[in-house]
Structure 1
């Protein structure tokens, strides 16, 4: 083996990892946008051909997506887009109800003028996306707003759990808003939560956040139950 060969292998490995990260990000966006439905099979050879790359970085990308819960590697089927059961939806929203209001109380006392400026900007961006029917943006903007409300809670473990729950809620949130017609309600309640925080009525803001999450969860569970009964 020549002296340069280990270095060449290292460079090759880095290129694969960089390409894999880019492929993972592209697939993540397509999954969250609903282009790949739950249960859809992601074939390595087809994706490698589409992206014009070898199967190695595609395989690495799919493993990254599996680690984040967006894909499951199933024996004899390969990579399959993850879906949520009714029980998982119930569990996710119950956990959010338990965690987010208490984290908001801890966080809101530390909001600065810059925090409020950023939150109002996010709220406005979300409002425009809701009214314009930009469905692919709803879940991500909702996640950013909720995480923004909780940013100063000082509870990194709880925040990590909430971040994961909100990612899991991305596709269900867009489904719930699209089917239920709760777009105006979601927009209004985000504004009210922010206004209550600014007025110093933090406990009231937390109570509204709790009912906001509970309503979304109950609405989505009803949608799931109807689809299962159909």
Structure 2
């Protein structure tokens, strides 16, 4: 196996551990330990960590190594602004191209999220992926390859954002808010999505300010 596919595989496994909450913000990512865990050379681990750095999931500090990235207020605001621009325009296009309705793919994605949240023992990784898939479905309904390509680059950070905002939500509330979001998008238009994203970012910013990271 060539180094690049191996690096992709290691990056994928580390990514899921971060986004599933197994590796928290600030957790150290030691090359030697990761190389042993994944049975690869250290240069492969290094390539995987650089890939995750470009996704905003890992911070690499010269002479100090790598660690799982967190999200400060500036990062939250920046992600909110970009997601809002992309998703609001995508929702506008999706509604315009589908007679002021969202296509079945969006409603189906919402049903998947609702079922994931309604299980007797909801799985956070499953809910997180279903949430990301719903927002992706809205973007894809716009049928705009350029918006979709840029939005796809934010998927990992969006799941990290949801992981951090998790303490402010129950599974029931998450499902209910997104069901209401889909209905209101069709009734009132894309500005509803802007308000939804602003509320989510605001909850996380309020939490960050109330509980600033140590150091």
Match of 1:224 among 180, 197, 208: 208
Structure 1: runs of 5+ lacking an equivalent: 1-13
**Distance in 2 separating the partners of 1:166 and 1:206:** 20
Between Structure 1 and Structure 2, which shows a larger proportion of helix residues?
1
- The answer to whether the aligner puts 1:175 opposite 2:164 as a matched pair is yes
Aligned residue among 185, 189, 209 for 2:177: 189
SS of the residue 2:67 aligns to = strand
Separation (CA, whole Å) in 1 of partners of 2:115 and 2:22: 22
Compared with structure 1, are the counterparts of its residues 208 and 183 closer, same or farther at alpha carbon in structure 2 (3 Å cutoff)? Answer: farther
1:162 equivalent in structure 2: 151
Q: Which residue of 1 aligns with 2:18?
A: 31
Equivalents in 2 of 1:191, 1:47: separation in Å? 40
Q: If you compute each CA radius of gyration, which structure gives the higher value, 1 or 2?
A: 1
Secondary structure at 2:208 match in 1: helix
- Partners in 1 of 2:98 and 2:45 — Cα distance? 42
Runs of 5+ consecutive residues of structure 2 not aligned to the other structure? none
Q: Residues 77 and 24 of structure 1: is their aligned pair in 2 closer, same or farther, counting only changes over 3 Å?
A: same
Q: How far off is 1:196 after superposition?
A: 5.0
- Return the offset for 1:54: 2.1
Moved more, 29-38 or 53-62: 53-62
Residues 207 and 226 (structure 1), Cα distance of their counterparts in 2 relative to 1, 3 Å cut: same
TM-score w.r.t. structure 1 length?
0.78
Report the count of equivalent residues. 210
Equivalence for 1:22: 9
C-alpha root-mean-square deviation of aligned residues, in Å? 2.6
When residues 223 and 196 of structure 1 are mapped into structure 2, their CA distance, relative to the original with a 3 A threshold, is closer
How much does 1:220 deviate?
1.2
Per-residue deviation, 1:226: 1.3
Match of 1:77 among 64, 67, 78: 64
